[in-house]
Amino acid sequence: MIISATIHPTTIQEAAAILREGQICAFPTETVYGLGADATNADAVLNVYQAKGRPRFNPLIVHCADLAMARQLVVFSPLAEKVAAAFWPGPMSLVLPMLPDNGIADIVTAGLPTLAIRIPAHPAARELIAAVGKPLAAPSANPSGRLSPTRASEVISGFDGQVPVLDGGPCHAGLESTILAIDGEAVVQLRTGALARDDIAETLGMPVPAIGEGSAITAPGMLLNHYAPKTDIRLDVISPEAGEAYLAFGGEPVFDGPMRNLSPSGDLREAARNLFTCLHELDASGATGIAVAPVPFQGLGEAINDRLQRAAAPRDPVAKA
Ligand code: AMP
Ligand code: MG
């Protein structure tokens, strides 16, 4: 595996220098930590797939510093313009038709004619992309199929210290971006994420169907993603068993074992922010399994339950993150 020297950058300029050399470097965003590479450099992007152990047919999201950079890569329909104006910068990825000869390496899109693109809200992420001067392909900075990282320490342990990380503190949203595909004036949600579908629909003043809910738009490979700890997961548990760890939601449950509470007050935004770190910590607790309390499905609960269900699903040999 080709991996950069693992002296961690301490400034945006140091991280930008690593990326400009065609090396990979992890960086903070408001969703989760991303494993970045210059999206116009096929060798650099290949290093991302290799470091993650990610199947090559799973395309990457490209991160832009601003709208001017995004406009050089994809075509915006009037609806895409409206969505971009409403949600960028922010945890929203848009799958849009690519402009010809936009310089993005083929391996980024796995050969698709569309590109997933986003402008992150995290200032360090945007400054980093601007300093590199190139769009950055950046999937989550974890080995494929494992839990996403929301702290620099989780990136370091996930890759055994072999990947350089720019530390920007804990991620604010804590869940991956919501992905919408837009084809002309049609829209479909390809992935739940840090922006709740109800809120998107309300802002746009139109329904946003989930993939499979009757939209003509389809997406390759969407359903195979896993976000799995090493420990087995059991969902909708009110009374965990001895030997298990408990991931609670709301209240002050009494349990004589390792326990984390996603949000004692039952706040879904707080739960989203804490989800991956709580799972990382319980995964390291030595428990025989992780029992998870029920989490309501409304608002951000849709995305939280999606990640929990994937974490609990039987392991698939081609699972990917
Ligand atoms: P990740 O990098 O793990 O956050 O995942 C990015 C996800 O975006 C991929 O798993 C794809 O399912 C989706 N994606 C990226 N590019 C495209 C595209 N051109 N068309 C449809 N989905 C895409
Ligand atoms: Mg991922």
Which domains occur in the chain, in start order? Answer: 12-176 (3.90.870.10), 233-312 (3.40.50.11030)
Q: Does the Cβ of 176 fall within 6 Å of ligand 1?
A: yes
What number is the average pLDDT over the span 171-197?
A: 96
Q: Which atom number of ligand 1 is nearest to the Cα of residue 54?
A: 3
pLDDT per position as a tens digit, 228-259: 888 999 999 999 999 999 999 999 999 999 99
Res 1: pLDDT: 40
Q: Are 83 and 75 in contact (CB under 8 A)?
A: no
Lowest mean pLDDT among 111-125, 193-207, 255-269, 302-316: 302-316
Q: Does the Cβ of 140 fall within 6 Å of ligand 1?
A: yes
Res 319: pLDDT: 46
What number is the average pLDDT over the span 207-233?
A: 74
List the residue whose alpha carbon is closest to atom 13 of ligand 1: 59
Please list, residue by residue across 275-301, b when 16 or more beta carbons sit within 10 angstroms of its beta carbon and e when fewer do. Answer: bbbbbbbbbeeebebbbbbebeeeebb
Is the pLDDT at 221 greater than 90, yes or no? no
Nearest-CA neighbor of 180 among 137, 117, 121, 120? Answer: 117
Measured in angstroms, how far is the CA atom of residue 27 from the centroid of ligand 2? 14
Nearest-CA neighbor of 155 among 293, 320, 29, 41? Answer: 29
pTM confidence score: 0.92
Res 223: pLDDT: 46
List the residue whose alpha carbon is closest to atom 2 of ligand 1: 139
List the residue whose alpha carbon is closest to atom 17 of ligand 1: 116
Is the pLDDT at 317 greater than 80, yes or no? no
Question: In angstroms, rounded to a whole number, what is the distance separating the alpha carbons of residues 153 and 49?
Answer: 21
Backbone angles phi, psi at 13, to 5 degrees: -65, -40
Q: Does the Cβ of 34 fall within 6 Å of ligand 1?
A: no
pLDDT above 90: percentage of residues in the chain: 86
Is the pLDDT at 3 greater than 70, yes or no? no
Res 2: pLDDT: 42
Measured in angstroms, how far is the CA atom of residue 223 from the centroid of ligand 2? 12
Res 220: pLDDT: 55
Is the pLDDT at 186 greater than 60, yes or no? yes
Q: Does the Cβ of 112 fall within 6 Å of ligand 1?
A: yes
Q: Does the Cβ of 211 fall within 6 Å of ligand 1?
A: no
Q: Which atom number of ligand 1 is nearest to the Cα of residue 139?
A: 2
Distances (CA, A) of 134 to 35, 60, 227: 15, 15, 29
Q: Tokens 């326990």 belong to which residue?
A: 259
Is the pLDDT at 288 greater than 80, yes or no? yes
Is the pLDDT at 227 greater than 80, yes or no? no
What number is the average pLDDT over the span 67-79?
A: 98
pLDDT per position as a tens digit, 77-105: 999 999 999 999 999 999 999 999 999 99
Is the pLDDT at 224 greater than 70, yes or no? no
Residue to probe by mutation, ligand 1, list 222, 226, 320, most atoms within 8 Å of CB: 222
Ligand that lies nearest to the alpha carbon of residue 104, given by its number in the listed order: 1
Residues with CB under 5 A from ligand 2 (ion): 140, 321
List the residue whose alpha carbon is closest to atom 3 of ligand 1: 321
Q: Tokens 């038709």 belong to which residue?
A: 97
Is the pLDDT at 276 greater than 80, yes or no? yes
What number is the average pLDDT over the span 304-316?
A: 87
Q: Which atom number of ligand 1 is nearest to the Cα of residue 225?
A: 10
- The secondary element (H helix, E strand) that includes residue 131 is helix 123-132
Dihedral sign for Cα atoms in the order 264, 270, 275, 281: negative
**Quick one: pLDDT band at residue 219, thresholds 50, 70, 90?**
low
Measured in angstroms, how far is the CA atom of residue 124 from the centroid of ligand 1? 23
Q: Does the Cβ of 108 fall within 6 Å of ligand 1?
A: no
pLDDT above 70: percentage of residues in the chain: 92
Mean pLDDT of the chain: 93
Measured in angstroms, how far is the CA atom of residue 6 from the centroid of ligand 1? 27
Question: In angstroms, rounded to a whole number, what is the distance separating the alpha carbons of residues 173 and 21?
Answer: 30
Q: Does the Cβ of 114 fall within 6 Å of ligand 1?
A: yes
Res 211: pLDDT: 86
Res 316: pLDDT: 57
Q: 213 or 215: whose pLDDT is higher?
A: 213
Structure tokens at 311: 């974490």
Res 116: pLDDT: 97
Distances (CA, A) of 199 to 9, 117, 256, 273, 299: 37, 20, 38, 18, 8
Measured in angstroms, how far is the CA atom of residue 121 from the centroid of ligand 2? 18
Question: In angstroms, rounded to a whole number, what is the distance separating the alpha carbons of residues 289 and 298?
Answer: 26
Res 239: pLDDT: 95
The one-letter amino acid code at 152 reads A
Res 213: pLDDT: 79
